[in-house]
Structure 1
């Protein structure tokens, strides 16, 4: 498919693992909690949880490891540990460069994250100036997001807020369920999986990159650097 055929007019980003390097925080804290019950948190399990709403992901964890706690108790126990780490979140390579470039070129952009709004504020606390380049922010607890990823709700909500045709939206995702959600929304999607994940699992994405710095806007009908 050529750049003209793609004709991307709007860009939507997942946040964790795409814009901000927060995914290691979840791994670290979850391993701390499950090892108290003699369990190990693997990437195979994490890949099933990534991109989902917190409670949905927690239920997968508790069921898979047969933990003697509820999903709600797991979320409560991890909260203070994660909150402290969220304040230290740093941008991923290439994220600021691309988003600022597209902003300067007048391309409307949105963030569509399963993160609840309160946690979004913690993660972006040190990056408020950067996040002004986004025209809209849709968090997982937005009223329009009835179902979490892999349902398309959050991306359709972002497109609606941008007044964009989903067929002309490009999504950046690092999670399998996020890729599924973007495709279900009728959008193009670029996957940037964590290095520990098997890239062949992301075959339904329109492109798979190692990091955002590899992205070439002109191949998608967007202004080149």
Structure 2
């Protein structure tokens, strides 16, 4: 399903694509939800869809702060973060994280058509390496990866534009923001892309309410449904 909320394409044509990781390329959100729900349950709290929508796309420290604050958990944020990391990283180390439907098809198509692509994730480098360990050949197709959770140049996480501006600057030809298209699943990531002066395709998690999808240039239900031709790129067949 493709839905355009009426946002005017600022430039139309783009030359580079920057793609989020969790929930966009990798199917990790269920794991994160399970980890947070497990911690919350110990204290008789429920990780509701509203809180999920606020946490999606944030760096780990901010995810912990939101969870502790919103559910009024009686533990320090750093303790929650440590337990969350232990649970999620333990799962990543033991299991192969599947790619999101259509991700392989889209990335191979862009690579074959020589469209520069990068990954911009709020994860730390260690977390990225754990999650992608079984997909090394796939991630070699990207020009570079920016891990906002550990990259010293990323001063502020999403919804600040830092990660996308830094990702654009690391392409050899240093495209202007208007020449970049971001692919995201989270409202914070969409806001970061807009703040960076980039167009953005959103593939929202089911918990993201309609009103938090409206900033996106285009909203689709699957990554392989991105209308590349609208942005001056070879269409996916």
TM-score, structure 1 as length reference: 0.96
Instruction: List runs of 5+ in structure 2 lacking aligned partners.
Output: 1-6
Partner Cα distance (1:83, 1:20) in 2 = 14
Task: Tell me by how many angstroms 1:144 deviates.
Answer: 1.3
Paired position in structure 2 for 1:17: 23
CA contact (8 A) 1:2 1:220 kept: no
Q: Residue 199 of structure 1 aligns with which residue?
A: 210
The alpha-carbon deviation at position 2 of structure 1 amounts to 9.0
Q: Which residue of 1 aligns with 2:182?
A: 171
**Is the aligned partner of 1:152 residue 2:161?**
yes
CA shift at 1:190, angstroms? 0.4
- Shift in Å at residue 81 of structure 1? 1.8
| 2:110 aligned to which of 85, 95, 102 | 102
SS in 1 for 2:207: coil
Q: Distance in 2 between matches of 1:66 and 1:177?
A: 22
Alpha-carbon distance between aligned partners in 1 of 2:36 and 2:53, rounded to the nearest angstrom: 13
Give the whole-Å Cα distance in 2 for the aligned partners of 1:182 and 1:4: 13
Question: Following TM superposition, by how much is the alpha carbon of 1:200 offset from its aligned partner in structure 2, in angstroms?
Answer: 3.5
State the secondary structure of the residue aligned to 1:183: helix
Higher helix share: 1
Once the two structures are overlaid, the 10-residue window that deviates more, 193-202 or 130-139, is 193-202
Tell me what 2:32 maps to.
Answer: 26
How far 1:203 sits from its partner (Å)? 0.5
Contact 2:50 2:207 in 1 (8 A): no
CA distance in 1, matches of 2:43, 2:207: 24
CA distance in 2, matches of 1:152, 1:68: 32
The question of whether the paired residues in 1 share the 8 Å contact of 2:203 and 2:219 is answered with: yes
Cα-Cα RMSD: 1.6
1:105 deviates by: 0.5
Return the offset for 1:98: 0.6
Residues 108-134 of structure 1: CA deviation (Å, up to 9, x unaligned): 001000000000000000000000110
* Matched residues, number: 225
| Residue number in structure 1 paired with 2:122 | 114
Matched residues in 2 for 1:110 and 1:143: separation?
Answer: 18
Within a 5 Å distance, the mapping from 1:1-225 to structure 2 comes to: 5-86=11-92, 87-140=95-148, 141-162=150-171, 163-225=174-236
Counterpart-to-counterpart distance in 2, 1:78 and 1:4: 39
